[in-house]
Chain A
Amino acid sequence: MKNSSSILEVRDLLKTFGAVVAAKDINVDISQGEIVGIIGANGAGKTCFVNMVTGYLAPTGGSIKFEGTELVGLETRKITHAGISRSFQVSQVFHSMTVAENLMIALAIANNRGTDALSLMDTPDLRLKLDEVLKRYKLEPQKDATVSALAQGVRKLLDIAMAVVSKPRILLLDEPTSGISVEEKFDFMDIVMGALREDGVTVLFVEHDMEIVERYVSRVLAFYQGEIIADMPPKKALADKKVQEFVIGKEHHKKKK
């Protein structure tokens, strides 16, 4: 699947935890602007894949290249600097601060690196940017609320908004809709995907809900026991025998509990 416009090239990625194989023979090329859904049953290796691309986990073997630069071995923050951001399965925000303060810090770090970090954080310029982000992610009503008092959905939205302020080229979202009620899921994804599309960000997101996958992605990567068993457009993937057996079958099972 070698593609001239691909910005992320993953080759022979391998990750083992003792006898557990969490990733094996992973070869993927991601093109600029693609929206990719990562599906798979619990423990299939989805988070593991996201963690390796973002430097949270060191692969046992293989290579991950972003625009020609090898990412394996880089610290997480260097990967952020390179242009890859992420959100987390459990949102990682500053829980004792307000929504606005959370975003201010994210904006300040994105804008002031190195010695600039010793200049004032709260500037009019940054305030303008803050208002923009609040508006875009529909977080204005909650801007002065402390994060620990927020609903799960708002926290997830904030988590994603914080990941995006550094203007990444690639964004990886680990189960963005988990913990969000079925009624709110689509509104939530509309806000997120709408905002991301404006920036032309390449998005890879882990998702258990096949309706969401069908609606928002252009390509599906199906994981099973650490391997990619299908890499195809969503319609085709959802009809695929292997995917139905190893991913969707178990999905239905999972939803019941």
Chain B
Amino acid sequence: MFNDRTAKFLLLAAMMICVGGAFAPNWIVNQFMFGFSRALAILGLMVLWRTGLVSFGHAFYFGLGAYAVAILDSKFGVSDVFLRLMAGAVVAGSAGFLIGFIMRNYRDIFFAMLNTAISMVLFGIVVKTESLGSTDGFAISASTIFGLAPETKYPLFVIITLVGLTAALLVNFYLKTTFGKLTTAIRDNEIRVEYLGFSVAHAIHLKYTISAILAGGAGALMAMSLGQVDPESMINWTVSGELVFVTILSGPGNVIAPFIGSLVFEILRTYAFELAPQAWQLIMGATFLTIIFFLPGGIWSLIEKLGGKKNEK
């Protein structure tokens, strides 16, 4: 699991980031926390994308993860970072597993929009329900680690980095298993996969559930990083769009890509907003167009080009 270049790079990079974070200014630590939290969801979307599936509704799972944390906090007073993360992943994963029974029968635009529809239902429910915080959402108390309440954000930053590392290693391994290799194969030719004796529905169901778990984890981490949740920034369809945006920005080439892409997105958005508060979408849109026209393989393909063939593969 650790003996390929991607895994080695991930381990090294995570270590350096954790050490570097101790000396970095607060705003950088924040960017990394938001970027890496979201990267978890991107990792899941990448698995789906390689299979030829795009979901325009993963804010559903992202939101479930975030709201699981918020409700545990406000109703049960749970503040432990690991319990919160687990809750987000388990709630979203269970929902993904159940909804997967439907999703595995759909492809293309139907798959994409069915997900959107489900996320809009959740959005509607949350907005209309007072006990779920309605449009205001919840503030979330600071997370504790093994009962200790840290004074800075650094410990949470380290945990997010390590969770990201673990998820990346697991997905990296998964993509090398027989199940995992059935991504491009399913995209290319489902009939052949079935005739080889493998259930395409089962494979897609598993991938979908994985993507739901990851998006739920991402939402939980994001909620803890931000210290608040609200439907607009967690469940709305614009969030789903954002996730797809970052997936394409990152590129499907490697499990490292979502982390880089997500970080670039975070920084880009912050600067675009500071530079042009009225027109930041313009900057984001232009970036998106540039990527689609000149880098269809995402930022990862640029890294591959620059690093030649010796880079991570």
Contacts and interface: CB of A to CB of B under 8 A. Distances in A.
B192 A80 contact: no
B195 A93 contact: no
A76 B185 CA distance: 17
A166 B184 contact: no
Interface residues of B, number: 23
Contact of A94 (B173, B174, B178, B185): B185
Which secondary structure dominates chain B's binding surface? helix
B179 A94 contact: no
B176 A77 contact: no
B199 A105 contact: no
B189 interface: yes
B191 A92 contact: yes
A242 B191 CA distance: 36
Given A77-B199, A85-B195, A110-B196, A117 B184 contact: no
Given A80-B196, A106-B196, A92 B189 contact: yes
Which secondary structure dominates chain A's binding surface? mixed
B181 interface: yes
B195 A86 contact: yes
Contacts of B189: 92-95
A134 B202 CA distance: 29
B182 interface: yes
A95 to B, nearest CB: 6
Contacts of B188: 93-97
B195 A121 contact: no
A76 B194 contact: yes
B197 interface: yes
Nearest to A96: B188
Nearest to B191: A92
B24 to A, nearest CB: 37
Given A94-B185, A94-B188, A105-B185, A118 B196 contact: no
25 contacts: A54-B195, A75-B194, A76-B194, A77-B197, A77-B198, A80-B195, A85-B195, A94-B185, A94-B188, A96-B188, A97-B188, A105-B182, A108-B181, A109-B178, A109-B182, A109-B196, A110-B197, A113-B198, A117-B178, A118-B179, A120-B176, A120-B177, A121-B176, A121-B180, A121-B181
Given A88-B191, A117-B177, A121-B180, 8 more contacts: A80-B195, A80-B196, A96-B184, A104-B181, A105-B182, A117-B178, A119-B177, A163-B195
10 A-B pairs with the lowest CB-CB distances in the bound complex, closest first: A80-B197, A94-B188, A117-B178, A108-B178, A92-B192, A109-B196, A117-B179, A112-B178, A121-B178, A77-B197
Interface of B: 173-174, 176-182, 184-185, 187-189, 191-199
